[in-house]
Amino acid sequence: MRKIIIEKEIFDRFPGFKRGLVIVEDIENARENENIEKLLDKEIERRAKEHNIEHEFIKAWDEIHRGFGSNPNRFPPSIKALLKRIEKGAKIPFINSVVASFNYISLKYLIPCGGDDIAKVKGNLHLGFASGNELFTPLGKDEIEHPDQGEVIYYDDEALTVMCRKWNYRNGDFTKITEESKKIVINIDGAGVVPESLITEARDELAQLLKEQAKAKLSTNLLTKEKNELEIDL
């Protein structure tokens, strides 16, 4: 038994933060899924017609990043990076059913979403502040780097390997989601200005989509200041 933990200082410094969770026990994660791809493409088309970089949800994440010393223009939160790609006319590739599904949800609700194959994780899944000694290998890379001291990281607190740098900027390679991934934890994050009801709505839509389109066996949960950790049996 292990835990998903959000340090209490995260909530003290960034009031109103909440994290929706989709905890997948088993899934058929295909490289192609026409139904999910249609949903994603439709959302890309919709957002391409708008200028959402100035939306209050996006600006709130900019402020959060500045709050732990990161530049959100140089190291954009994941939802901002998606929107920038769309505004430039770039295609968002269909990686697999899970990744495409949470990209769809991220764009639909304008919130950061991300997931990890936790079969590769040894300890607890921990969101907190970096000491600078942790190890990070960026997605698709081989070189190892270290996070900055004090930046917010999502990491394996036993192996001290980082799953995501700068809260939601860049994923690590070791927990990337592939077609072989079966045990997955997906995060749906809300800044203080985002209603909790919107996070639970996004979480539940994602969960239902994965059940219908990828035969997922899963559960859902929510972490807030009042409940900052959760035991998981995966």
Q: pLDDT by residue (tens digit) across 52-105?
A: 999 999 999 999 999 999 999 999 999 999 999 999 988 899 999 999 999 999
pLDDT at residue 42 above 90?
A: yes
pLDDT at residue 200 above 90?
A: yes
Domains of the chain, first to last: 2-223 (3.50.40.10)
Hey, which residues does 186 pair with through a beta bridge?
22, 115
- In the chain, % of residues over pLDDT 90: 96
* Largest CA-CA distance found in the chain, in angstroms, rounded: 46
Please give the radius of gyration of the chain, using alpha carbons only, rounded to the nearest integer: 16
Q: pLDDT by residue (tens digit) across 125-159?
A: 999 999 999 999 999 999 999 999 999 999 999 99
State the DSSP H helix or E strand holding residue 109, giving kind and residue range, or none if neither.
helix 97-109
- Give the three-state DSSP class for 67: helix
pLDDT at residue 1 above 90?
A: no
